[in-house]
Structure 1
Amino acid sequence: MDLGESGALHAVSSAVLAVNRHLSVREVLQVIVRAAAELIDAPYAALGIPDEDGAFAEFVTEGIPPERERAIGPMPRQHGMLAVMLKDGEVHRHGDIRKEPGFWGWPAAHPVMKGFLGVPIRDGDTTLGILFVASEEGVGFSDRAEELLTLFAAHAAIALSNARLHEANRELSVVEERNRLARELHDAVSQKLFSLRLLARAGLSGNPVGALTQVEQLAGEALGELRTAIYALTDLPGDGLADRLRKHCEVLDHVYPAAVTFTAEGAPDDDQAVYRIAQEALHNALRHAEAHNVSVTLTDRLLEIRDDGRGFSDAGSGLGLASMRERARLAGGELSVRSGGEGTIVRLELP
């Protein structure tokens, strides 16, 4: 099971890069396990994440078919060699794990494993998880395999920590988005409803026909604002960028008189910044430019929003452009805005 020096370095590099492309904790766990099995050339691998009670909160495997995994039953809790590793946080390598004092046996459907190599995934003094590989052979794993898996576990700790931070940031972004929507509802819908009350009162003593016309218009606008806000509450971070933008454009197409179309051929990795820029550009086109047609095009390297509205004279200030440019800068992209009498084109080019 030894690997050559160059092949080993390539395997570690590929595995770490694969891990860091995934952002959710569950995805990271699965990629770590698969990469560990490939790195050591082992038929089986698993990764357990401890909970606050010293058992496993999550347990991900590689090499065991799904139907057999279901037959094995619930994830291990606080017994066997995995429990020993959770407690001592040490590297364990055995030629035949069944002969070890800490071995408790397996469920009936569990495959027979002899060779065992387990290493902790640590962040300082904290054990983030237990990573192990196993084989059906009783030969065991080499010193080189232990060295490689230990090295990979150190890199996996960084990826796992980043994934947890990313999920925490996503939760914070949900809270921020709800607060933004609350402010938007107050600023837009509440003001229109207040205007409706004033018009209704004025219509009773003045020009009821004219007042009713304005009431109808304002009520339609308020309904549109409310629908958009309600949709946004169900569109908080979670879906892929292309799906979120497609649904958002569909709602806007129904709410506003303008025709809003969307086409996509792929999507960039940094979806949050791109999505917010698209939202702001659509807001400008539909609420300020009085556009009749708005098109959104998305690829893995480009976001483009075109409208045939009246445009605006200064493409470098106002209308949320400052925040759009800042989001583009943080995403490592370049934002360009071209506006005139024939409409506006907002382009975000990503590296």
Structure 2
Amino acid sequence: MSDDDPITFPDAPRAELDDALAHLVEQARKVLQTQGRLRALVRANRAVVSHIELPTVLRTIAEAAVDLVGARYGALGVIAEGGGLEQFIHVGMSPEDVHRIGHLPEGHGLLGALIDDPQPIRISSIAADARSAGFPEGHPPMTAFLGVPITVRDTVYGNLYLTDPESGEFTEDDQQLVKALAANAGFAIDNARLYAESRSRQAWSVAAGELTASILGGESAEAFTELADRARALLGARAVFIVQPESDSSLRISAAGDADRALAEAAAAAEQVRSAVEGMQPTRLAGLAAGPTADDSEAGPVLVAPFALLDGNTAALVAVRDEGVGGFSSFELERATAFARQGGLALELAAVRADRQRALLLEERARIARDLHDHVIQQLFGAGIELQSIESAVGPGSVTDRIEGAVSSIDQAIAEIRTAIFALSHSHGSHDSLRYRLLDIVHQVGGSLPSPATLSFSGPVDVVSHPQLDDDIIAFVREGLTNVVRHAGAETASVAVTASADEITVSVVDSGTGLGETTRRSGLGNLAERARLRGGEFDVESSERGTRLSLRLPVPELGR
């Protein structure tokens, strides 16, 4: 062989070398591809864990899965507690496609198979699989399918659904990558749920504190309405209202807040709601069996949170969502029940505090009444006796007349103080007595005068009074004061009631301009007729200095 002859290899060794080089190149390509997919998995995991709000986390998981395996369509279905799908977050379909399809999947066919048996499903053709339920009209065509469950704390939370990969079908590597993403997604979902629950608990706690402070510091009559309004915002419900059971087993809507009235009435009429309220059992319902509401809309999920009231009765907070909206969670039921019970407890505390304040007020009134009786009246009485002794020493004359006027004023003051003592010391007693009824009328009618009308009692009024006389006396005083307010132009008026064993005399005196020449005296005529029927007397004295109406009625034998 000369130096110029070319160096050649035998064909067989050369072929083996080419195969080895090609194999190395292929392995290097696979390594690079695997590295790229692992990097994509890392990016997908980083995207999944970079958010904390649950809705954002769920959509990010679906988007990351589609990008990871090069799928055209993807979705994440959240499994409802009773089976089926509670949420369906989809990626890849246009708004026009979604509109043509109509309602989203509910968990049938292949989707339901993955719910029933949470094991990965990988097939090359959806239509060829016996478990497929087909597609609704307007649904875009889909071929290969990959489904992987997402587990949160050993419980299947939902499933990842992927279709139409760029390579034509899903590989074992695709399945393993999506499984790895699903495992990491489970942790991200768990953290997002814990974060959402933590924020929700904080919101419920703040609302409960504000509700308690509002009830304790405001009107209890508005407590139910405020309870409903606050719960509505926290639950994201269309209607929240308070119901109370009636004696005929029906439910009365005590407060509807900003609730939809048609929904409230439909829920209150539902047997499931009545049963939950009567049994004091916190309940969640998927819907109502009562059918459409008055405005032909269907009620969606319902939540019933019963609570006890101070008087031994019960009530319940009822929340209703629109049809098609996700149901209430067990967490929401727990929080709403605690919130309603907090409201009931606040009402009890408010009632107890009101009773305590009322008791303190009654004690203070009793103390004032005692002081008036034991000190003021005694001092006035002593002053009157002293003036009378001076009068007897002075003898007849102008000074004596002035002393007599002062003594009369003291007697009038003593009578008015005794009336005030009665009102103070008996404010917690029966309001059916003649004294109380007269006090109310003088306050209501005579209170509109420039100087409010006064009322005084003398003698055993409530002892000798009788229902046969009370209505006539009340009518007399009301008519007399009404005339004073409307026609007399008086600054003030006084009502005096004097009782003896035989008769009761009532007078209404004003400082007005008198009756004048008016002929409209039908009211006075009615009073005169009442007196005649009772065997009594009615008298009118009027001048430009004022008017005095007097009624004298004999006490019936039953009143003696």
Q: Which has the higher contact order (CA 8 A, sep 6+)?
A: 1
Structure 2 counterpart of 1:41, one-letter code? G
Alpha-carbon spacing, 1:58–1:178, altered in 2? closer, same or farther (3 Å): same
Matches within 5 A, 1:4-19: 4-19=33-48
1:48-127 to 2 correspondence within 5 Å? 48-127=77-156
**Per-residue deviation, residues 52-95 of structure 1 (Å, max 9, x unmatched):** 22100000111101221121111212421000000000100001
DSSP-derived class of the 2:62 partner? helix
Distance 2:71 2:161 in 1: 10
1:93, 1:118 within 8 Å by CA — same for their partners in 2? yes
Partners in 1 of 2:110 and 2:191 — Cα distance? 28
Contact 1:29–1:60 (Cα < 8 Å) also in 2: yes
| CA distance in structure 2 between the partners assigned to 1:109 and 1:233 by the alignment | 40
Aligned residues: 196
Whole-angstrom distance in 2 between the partners of 1:185 and 1:104: 55
- The aligned runs of 1:1-351 (5 Å cut-off) are 4-135=33-164, 139-181=168-210
* Alpha-carbon distance between aligned partners in 2 of 1:87 and 1:7, rounded to the nearest angstrom: 34
Deviation at 1:105, TM superposition (A): 0.5
Give a deviation string over 1:101-141, Cα, whole Å, max 9, x none. 10111011111111111100012431111102100779421
Q: Distance in 1 between matches of 2:211 and 2:148?
A: 48
Alignment check: 8 A CA contact 2:71 2:166 kept: no
Aligned-pair distance for 1:184? 7.3
Change (3 A) 1:234 1:125: closer
Taking structure 1 as the reference length, what is the TM-score of the superposition? Answer: 0.50
Q: Deviations over 1:113-170 (max 9, x none)?
A: 1111110001243111110210077942111111100000000111111111111111
| DSSP 3-state at the match of 2:189 | helix
Deviation string 1:162-187 (CA, Å, 9 cap, x unpaired) is 11111111110102222454677799
- TM-score normalised by L of structure 2: 0.32
**Structure 2 contact 70–165 (Cα < 8 Å) conserved:** no
| Cα gap change, 1:178 to 1:105, in 2 (>3 Å) | same
Equivalent residue letter for 1:178: A
Distance 1:81 1:171, change over 3 A: same
Quick one: distance in 1 between partners of 2:211 and 2:63?
43
Distance 2:90 2:107 in 1: 17
Once the two structures are superposed, residues 34-64 of structure 1 have per-residue CA deviations (whole angstroms, 9 ceiling, x without a partner) of 1100011111111111112210000011110
User: Counterpart amino acid of 1:123?
Assistant: V
CA contact (8 A) 1:43 1:134 kept: yes
8 Å CA contact 1:114, 1:137 repeated in 2? no
Q: Distance in 1 between matches of 2:231 and 2:111?
A: 42
Q: Which amino acid aligns with 2:131?
A: G
Q: What SS is found at the alignment partner of 2:81? A: coil
With over 3 angstroms needed to count, the CA separation of the structure-2 counterparts of 1:138 and 1:96, relative to structure 1, is farther
Match of 1:100, SS state, is coil
Amino acid at match of 1:44: Y
**The residue matched to 2:130 in structure 1 has which SS?**
coil
AA partner of residue 59 (structure 1): F
Cα separation, 2, equivalents of 1:21 and 1:122: 19
The Cα offsets for residues 302-322 of structure 1, whole Å up to 9 and x where unpaired, read as xxxxxxxxxxxxxxxxxxxxx
| C-alpha distance 119-233 of structure 1, shift in aligned 2 (>3 A) | closer
